[in-house]
Amino acid sequence: MDGLQALFLALIQGLTEFLPVSSSAHLILPSQLLGWPDQGLAFDVAVHAGTLVAVMVYYRESLTSLLMGVLGSGDNVSLRRREVSALLIATLPAVVIGIAFSDVIDQYLRGIGVIATTTLLFGLLLGVSYSYRAAGADEQPISRLDHALVIGLAQALALIPGTSRSGVTITASLFLGYNLATAARFSFLMSIPVIAGALLLMLVKDFELFFSSANLAITLIAMLVAAVSAYATIAFFVGLVTRVGMMPFVIYRVLLALILFSILVFV
C-alpha cells in the first residue's frame, strides 16, 4: 500500500466512521472499483485507534461524568449508572453476533450488490424514522435498558457492510421517540466499546504486525489523519443534524445505491 492510498483511506475512515453512510462500504469500494490491494491489518488498527481517540476527546465531558457516576461521585449518580448499564447492554448484541458470524460476513457479504442493497434499504429507513423523532435539540441520556437492547440489536446489523453503524443506531433511537441530538450522542458513545473491542481483537490477532510494519511512518500518519478528520466530522454532524435533519444523508445514500446498482448492471 503506497502513501497516497493510505492517506486517502484514512481520510475516508475518519469522515465516514461517524456519519450515517457506512465507513466499511466506503473502504471496501475503492479496493473493488480501483483494484487497490488490501490495506492490511496494521492500517486497520491505526485508523480504528484514530477514530477511537477522536470520539473520546469529543465526548470527554460525558465520559468523565459517566465514570464519576460509576465511582459514586458527582450529580445524578443513579442516572449515570443506568446509562452506563444501557451502553453495556447495547454493545452485547454486536459482540456476540460479530464473534459468531464474522467469517460468514467477510466471505459472503462484502460485495457491491450487498453494499448497494443495504445502502438503499437502511437509507430509506433512516428517512422514515426522522418523522418519529421527538422535538427539541437538547442531548439527554438514554437509560432505559429495553431501549438500549433494541438499539444494540440494530447496531449488530451494521456488521453487514453498507448498513452504517451510526445510521442504524440513530434510526432505531428515532423510532423509539428520541430527538436527534440524543440519538447521535448515544450512537457515538456506543461506538467507543465497539471500536475499542475491534481494535483489541485486531491487535490480539497479530500484535507484532503493527509494530514491525515496514510502513510504520505511513501507518502513524494515517492514524493522525483518521483522528483529526473523525473529530471534525463528529462536530460537523452534530451541528448539521440539529439544523437541517437527516435528509441530506438519506439522499446521499439513495444516490450512492443507484450508482452502485448501475455499476453492477453496466460494468
Q: How does pLDDT run across 93-115, given as a tens digit for each residue?
A: 998 998 888 788 878 887 889 99
Query: What pLDDT band is residue 86 in, cutting at 50, 70 and 90?
Result: very high
Mean pLDDT score, 31-40: 69
pLDDT of amino acid 213: 54
Q: How far is CA 162 from each of CA 117, 135, 253, rounded to the nearest angstrom?
A: 8, 29, 9
**Per-residue confidence at 214, pLDDT binned at 50, 70, 90?**
low
Query: How confident is the model over 63-73, as pLDDT tens digits?
Result: 999 999 999 88
Estimate the share of the chain in helix, then strand, then coil, as percent rounded to the nearest 5. Answer: 80, 0, 20
User: pTM above the 0.85 mark?
Assistant: yes
In tens, the pLDDT along 132-151 reads 999 888 889 999 999 999 99
Question: Which residues lie closer than 8 Å to 102 by C-beta, 6 or more apart?
Answer: 159
